[in-house]
Amino acid sequence: MADVPKPKELVKIRHSPPFLTGWMNTPTEIKQGIACYAGKPKNLEYVGLPNPREWSPFDADWKLPPNWKKIILDGLRERLEKFRSLKIFMDICVRCGACADKCHFFIGGGDPKNMPVLRAELLRSVYRKEYTTAGKIMGAFAGARELTEDVLKEWWSYFFQCTECRRCSVFCPYGIDTAEITIIGRELLNLIGLNTDWISAPVANCYRTGNHLGIQPHAYKDMIDFFLDDIEDITGIRLEPSFNRKGAEILFITPSGDVFADPGTYTCMGYLMLFHYLESMGLDITWSTYASEGGNFGYFTSHEMAKRLNAKMYAEAKRLGVRWILGGECGHMWRVVNQYMDTFNGPADFLEEPVSPITGTKFENAKSTKMVHIIEFTADLIKNNKLKLDPSRNDNLKITFHDSCNPARGMGLLDEPRYVIQNTCKYFYEMPENTIREQTFCCGSGAGLNAGEDMELRMRGGMPRANAVKYVHEKYDVNMLATICAIDRAVLPDLMKYWVPEVDVTGVHELVANALILEGEKKRTTDLRGEPLPGMEDMDEEEGAEQTEGAEA
Partner 1 sequence: MNFILGILFSIVVVSILVFIPWIGVWAWDLRFVFGVIVPYAAIAIFIMGILYRVIGWARSPVPFRIPTTAGQQKSLAWIKPNRIDNPSNAFGVIIRMAFEVLLFRSLFRNTSLEFRQGNRITYEWEKWLWVAALAFHYSFLVVVLRHLRFFTEPIPAFVHWIENLDGFLEMGIAPFSGFSLPGILISGFVLLAALTYLFLRRLYISQTRYISLPADYFPLFLIIGIATTGVLMRYMGAFMQFIFGADWFSVPVVNVKELAMGLVTFHPVIPEDIGTIFYIHLFLVSILLAYFPFSKLMHMGGIFLSPTRNLSNNNRMVRHVNPWDYPVKTHTYEEYEDEFREKMVEAGLPVEKISEESAEDKTGSSEEAEKE
Binding to partner 1 (CB under 8 A): which residues in 175-234?
Answer: 175-177, 180, 207-210, 216-218, 221-222
Report H helices in 24-148.
41-47, 68-82, 84-91, 104-109, 116-131, 133-138
Strand order through the sheet with 285-287: 285-287, 250-253, 324-327, 371-373
* Nearer to partner 1 among residue 240 and residue 541 (C-beta): 240
When asked if residue 67 is in the footprint of partner 1 (CB under 8 A), the reply is no
Q: Which helix (H) or strand (E) holds 512?
A: helix 508-515
User: Could you give the 3-state DSSP secondary structure of residue 526?
Assistant: strand
DSSP state of 409: H
Question: Which among 124, 125, 1, 148 is positioned nearest to 62, based on CA atoms?
Answer: 148
Among 43, 157, 161, 169, binds partner 1 (CB under 8 A): 169
Spatial distance between the Cα atoms of 34 and 298, rounded to a whole number of angstroms: 22
Spatial distance between the Cα atoms of 132 and 90, rounded to a whole number of angstroms: 11
When asked if residue 284 is in the footprint of partner 1 (CB under 8 A), the reply is no
Spatial distance between the Cα atoms of 212 and 254, rounded to a whole number of angstroms: 12
DSSP state of 57: T
Print the binding letters for residues 386-425 with partner 1: x by CB under 8 A, - otherwise.
----------------------xxxxxxxxx--x------
Q: Which of residues 127-146 bind partner 1 (CB under 8 A)?
A: 132-134, 140-143
* Nearer to partner 1 among residue 4 and residue 413 (C-beta): 413
Among 56, 63, 67, 174, binds partner 1 (CB under 8 A): 174
Contacts of 218 by beta carbon, 8 Å cutoff, 6+ apart: none
When asked if residue 342 is in the footprint of partner 1 (CB under 8 A), the reply is yes
Print the binding letters for residues 96-115 with partner 1: x by CB under 8 A, - otherwise.
xxx-xx-----x----x--x
Of 9-17, 49-57, 253-261, 500-508, the window that binds partner 1 (rule: CB under 8 A) is: 9-17
Spatial distance between the Cα atoms of 128 and 91, rounded to a whole number of angstroms: 9
* Nearer to partner 1 among residue 246 and residue 523 (C-beta): 246
When asked if residue 15 is in the footprint of partner 1 (CB under 8 A), the reply is yes
Q: Which of residues 424-443 bind partner 1 (CB under 8 A)?
A: 432, 434, 437-439
Spatial distance between the Cα atoms of 24 and 122, rounded to a whole number of angstroms: 9
Q: Which of residues 474-513 bind partner 1 (CB under 8 A)?
A: none
Among 157, 163, 211, 369, binds partner 1 (CB under 8 A): 369
* Nearer to partner 1 among residue 316 and residue 488 (C-beta): 316
* Nearer to partner 1 among residue 282 and residue 347 (C-beta): 347
Among 31, 65, 73, 243, binds partner 1 (CB under 8 A): 243
When asked if residue 170 is in the footprint of partner 1 (CB under 8 A), the reply is yes
* Nearer to partner 1 among residue 26 and residue 548 (C-beta): 26
For residue 435, the tally of other CB atoms under 10 A from its CB is: 19
# of chain residues touching partner 1 (CB under 8 A): 125
When asked if residue 304 is in the footprint of partner 1 (CB under 8 A), the reply is yes
* Nearer to partner 1 among residue 22 and residue 66 (C-beta): 22
Rounded to a whole number of angstroms, the minimum distance from the CB of residue 424 to partner 1 is 17
Strand order through the sheet with 427-428: 427-428, 398-402, 480-483, 504-507
When asked if residue 236 is in the footprint of partner 1 (CB under 8 A), the reply is no
Burial of 190 (0-12, 13-18, 19+ CB in 10 A): buried
Of 185-193, 375-383, 389-397, 528-536, the window that binds partner 1 (rule: CB under 8 A) is: 375-383
Radius of gyration over every alpha carbon of the chain, rounded to an integer in angstroms: 24
Contact 232, 528 (CB under 8 A): no
Q: Where would I find the beta strands (DSSP E) of 443-548?
A: 480-483, 504-507
Of 270-278, 360-368, 481-489, 509-517, the window that binds partner 1 (rule: CB under 8 A) is: 360-368
Rounded to a whole number of angstroms, the minimum distance from the CB of residue 84 to partner 1 is 4
